[in-house]
C-alpha cells in the first residue's frame, strides 16, 4: 500500500483538473470525458471522447444515441501514444470518469499501473477488473466547476 504524500496529491489534483479541461473539448453532447496520461512527471498524452480522425465530429446519431465509432477518452489517449514513440508502461492515467470495462482492458494491457479518476461510472466492472489486475486506483473528489 503506497502512502499518498501531499506533494503527490497536489500533482494528482492538478493533472485531474487538466483532464476536466480536456473533457470540455469533446464534441459529444451526451457525455464529455477527458483523459491525461502522465509518465515520469511528464504529460505524454491526452484525449477526450470523440469520433476517429477524419470523421464527422458529431458523436450522436439521429436518435441521440452515441455512435458506435466514438472512442472513449482513455482509448484515444492510449492510442495516441501507440501512434508515437512513447510508451504507456508504468504511466498514470488521469480521467474525469472511471473507465468502462472495455477501456479497462486497454489500460491494463497497455502497461498503465495507476488510474486517478473523479466521478464513478455507473458500471464499476471496469474498476473491479483494474483492481484485480493490480492497477492502483485513486478517486479524487474534484468539483470541475471550481
Ligand atoms: Zn470506455
Q: In angstroms, what is the span from residue 99 Cα to ligand 1's centroid?
A: 5
Residue whose cell numbers read 484525449: 47
| pLDDT attached to residue 45 | 98
Q: In angstroms, what is the span from residue 136 Cα to ligand 1's centroid?
A: 18
Q: Which residues are marked as active site?
A: 74
pTM: 0.93
Q: In angstroms, what is the span from residue 68 Cα to ligand 1's centroid?
A: 12
What is the grid cell recorded at 125? 466492472
Q: Which residues 6+ apart lie within 8 Å of 62 measured at CB?
A: none
Q: In angstroms, what is the span from residue 146 Cα to ligand 1's centroid?
A: 26
Closest to 28 in 3D by CA, of 3, 58, 53: 58
Q: What is the pLDDT along the chain (146 residues), one digit of tens a residue?
A: 467 899 999 999 999 999 999 999 999 999 999 999 999 999 999 999 999 999 999 999 999 999 999 999 999 999 999 999 999 999 999 999 999 999 999 999 999 999 999 999 999 999 999 999 999 999 999 866 55
Amino acid at each position: 500500500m503506497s502512502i499518498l504524500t501531499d506533494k503527490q496529491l497536489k500533482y494528482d489534483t492538478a493533472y485531474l483538473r487538466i483532464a476536466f479541461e480536456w473533457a470540455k473539448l469533446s464534441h459529444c453532447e451526451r457525455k464529455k470525458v477527458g483523459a491525461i496520461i502522465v509518465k515520469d512527471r511528464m504529460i505524454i498524452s491526452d484525449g477526450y471522447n470523440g469520433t476517429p480522425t477524419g470523421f464527422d465530429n458529431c458523436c450522436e446519431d439521429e436518435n441521440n444515441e452515441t455512435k458506435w465509432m466514438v472512442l472513449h477518452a482513455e482509448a484515444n489517449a492510449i492510442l495516441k501514444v501507440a501512434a508515437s514513440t512513447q510508451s504507456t508502461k508504468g504511466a498514470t492515467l488521469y480521467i474525469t470518469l472511471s473507465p468502462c470495462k472495455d477501456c479497462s482492458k486497454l489500460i491494463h494491457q497497455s502497461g498503465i499501473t495507476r488510474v486517478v479518476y473523479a466521478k464513478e461510472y455507473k458500471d464499476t466492472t471496469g474498476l473491479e477488473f483494474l483492481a484485480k489486475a493490480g492497477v492502483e486506483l485513486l478517486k479524487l473528489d474534484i468539483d470541475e466547476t471550481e
